[in-house]
Structure 1
């Protein structure tokens, strides 16, 4: 059924080509495993999808694969290969081994606005690339941002393309999807929407990176949606007292209720907080990490993919082969959350 995809490779036994190591996550009809390619000893993440579970869902899978296969950007997880057996589809994904964004920030001893600006610049760059290709991510959130490696200055990677949508010419999308706290007002209002939804989400991520808590929060979903629809958020004291006006201005241009007035990625990349040197070098680690621990710890167990399992595995490997074999310890980007796929989470 995916026969239009000429770049698939046939295999009757994927384990002849790859050694399966750890299960990194399981979804309703897929699982992600950490594997080593036998020929090269390269580590990858493989998303194994049972075909029998796909009946009727072929189009959503085909969309995801079509999207992934087109994407080549240094800050976006790559789809290296696709294999198909009689029973399964195997997506061979680049592996990211640096763990999750929030975990890393909490572990650091020193963290500044400039660090946050550098992170956001990479995300803007990747999302601008997607937008230029006519792709809207639709589900940008911190859990989908992983570090490429354990290196101190590792780049950040966007993962999880289950909800991406390649925009047809001039088409508007209006399927509500994404995670409530990061979703733009026009999505909740069930208005047609476009690339601007991603820019809103980047604004929300920037907000959290500077204070450690989300701009919108309510135990009651209806009230949460109300806040978002009105774009009601504050830069509360004392958490925002040490943050530059430039950073707040940047956020306000992205978290702008009117999608027509909202910054595009291109505009955001030119803002002085990103392109200039208005981002402060003051250490804000203590207050931000305290808030992150308070506000984001609970979501860990819900995740379909476990980035920390990869980190643990890498640490074991590093202990095991201290004489570094070139190329072996440089696993690549996120085979991450592809497990959680499509708009109603069945992937």
Structure 2
């Protein structure tokens, strides 16, 4: 997994939680239950309350839903909709045929879900391929957005400025520690669309300082030969989402009306061979943790004096759900999150 700039609920869950595949006795319906020891949440109550408040408000076909909550003296149990279709990149690699039109349909679903969130005043703040899962193994399965550990419900008395997200997908204004808005999610969708069409990220450098410089300047290319067979319409769509100035960046509604999404400009040409080869090269599981150097991100944040940043009015104590040290999430089996089976009433 790639490193996060700030501590989030998913990392807290991953380090201490157990994910249980459960069957409801009455209906025989399968669900996923996150079992979280309350001891692990001490001092992080605000983070949990934030995620639950967000999840409770959300009902959308392309967003993993929180179905129920239980607790006892020792544990908190989140009953989540079961999503069993696997990760986005894995499915693309497994396909034998993949086109711009397929990518367009995926991005349309993501845009529709994120527009729904934005209309409710919710900013996801951590959209990335790892948080996009297929609902089922069906060939025509819908895509689902998961992981709301960094989400923020906008309020009239709150200005979002905390540096959150994953470096490769985060908008320039976040890295620059400028106040930001829903537009950060649209930038991330642009980055995801870019990767879906070529199989590699728009921003990458072995030197972390240069990586941040690229993002801050919004410097990226449509490199030959990887983009030679991609339509000008697709490139135009990405340019409007990966616009450095958030005031000029397309909102979800505008993006949904772009010809590459709403029209017929997305090509039917098979680009699977090139894209899947690049995905396997750049996004192999073993490379998630190597993709960005965690120490360098911390140094960058400290240089910009982001270590003690707060959201909204200044406060004496750190209460932001995104305040904290940088953690590098390990693979599921390594960080203690296991899938087991059980039943509940």
When the two structures are superposed, what TM-score results if normalisation uses the length of structure 2?
0.80
How far does the alpha carbon of each residue in 1:19-68 deviate from its partner, in whole angstroms, 9 at most, with x for none?
A: xxxxxx96223222222222222111111111122222111100100100
The 3-state SS of whatever aligns with 1:146 is strand
Asked if 1:140 is matched to 2:131, the reply is no
Asked if 1:185 is matched to 2:172, the reply is yes
The 3-state SS of whatever aligns with 2:283 is helix
Unaligned runs of 5+ in 2: 1-11, 290-320, 330-345
Q: Distance in 1 between matches of 2:271 and 2:248?
A: 31
Q: Is the 8 A contact 1:162 1:343 kept in 2?
A: no
Q: Is the 8 A contact 1:244 1:279 kept in 2?
A: yes
The 3-state SS of whatever aligns with 1:73 is coil
How far does the alpha carbon of each residue in 1:229-277 deviate from its partner, in whole angstroms, 9 at most, with x for none?
A: 0000000000000000000000000000000000000000000000000
Report the aligned-residue RMSD: 1.9
Asked if 1:131 is matched to 2:126, the reply is no
Q: 2:192 aligns with which of 184, 197, 205?
A: 205
Q: Is the 8 A contact 1:26 1:32 kept in 2?
A: no
Runs of 4+ in 1 over 4 A off after TM superposition: 299-302, 341-347
How far does the alpha carbon of each residue in 1:194-245 deviate from its partner, in whole angstroms, 9 at most, with x for none?
A: 1000000000000000000000001222111000000000000000000000
How far does the alpha carbon of each residue in 1:148-193 deviate from its partner, in whole angstroms, 9 at most, with x for none?
A: 0011000000000000000112632111011100000000000011
Q: Distance in 2 between matches of 1:31 and 1:188?
A: 33
Q: Distance in 1 between matches of 2:151 and 2:140?
A: 28
Q: Distance in 2 between matches of 1:146 and 1:171?
A: 31
Unaligned runs of 5+ in 1: 1-24, 303-340
Q: 2:74 aligns with which of 68, 87, 99?
A: 87
Q: Distance in 2 between matches of 1:300 and 1:86?
A: 39
Partner of 1:274: 261
Partner of 2:149: 162
The 3-state SS of whatever aligns with 1:277 is coil
Distance change >3 Å, CA 301–CA 223, structure 1 → 2? closer
Asked if 1:38 is matched to 2:25, the reply is yes
How far does the alpha carbon of each residue in 1:261-308 deviate from its partner, in whole angstroms, 9 at most, with x for none?
A: 000000000000000000000000000000000000045776xxxxxx
Q: What count of residue pairs does the alignment treat as equivalent? A: 286
How far does the alpha carbon of each residue in 1:64-109 deviate from its partner, in whole angstroms, 9 at most, with x for none?
A: 0010011000000000000011111100000101001000000000
Greater relative contact order: 1 or 2 (C-alpha under 8 angstroms, separation 6 or more)? 2
Asked if 1:151 is matched to 2:138, the reply is yes
The 3-state SS of whatever aligns with 1:237 is coil
Q: Distance in 1 between matches of 2:160 and 2:286?
A: 28
Asked if 1:222 is matched to 2:170, the reply is no
Distance change >3 Å, CA 114–CA 155, structure 1 → 2? same
When the two structures are superposed, what TM-score results if normalisation uses the length of structure 1?
0.79
Equivalent residues in 2 for 1:113-128, closer than 5 Å: 113-128=100-115
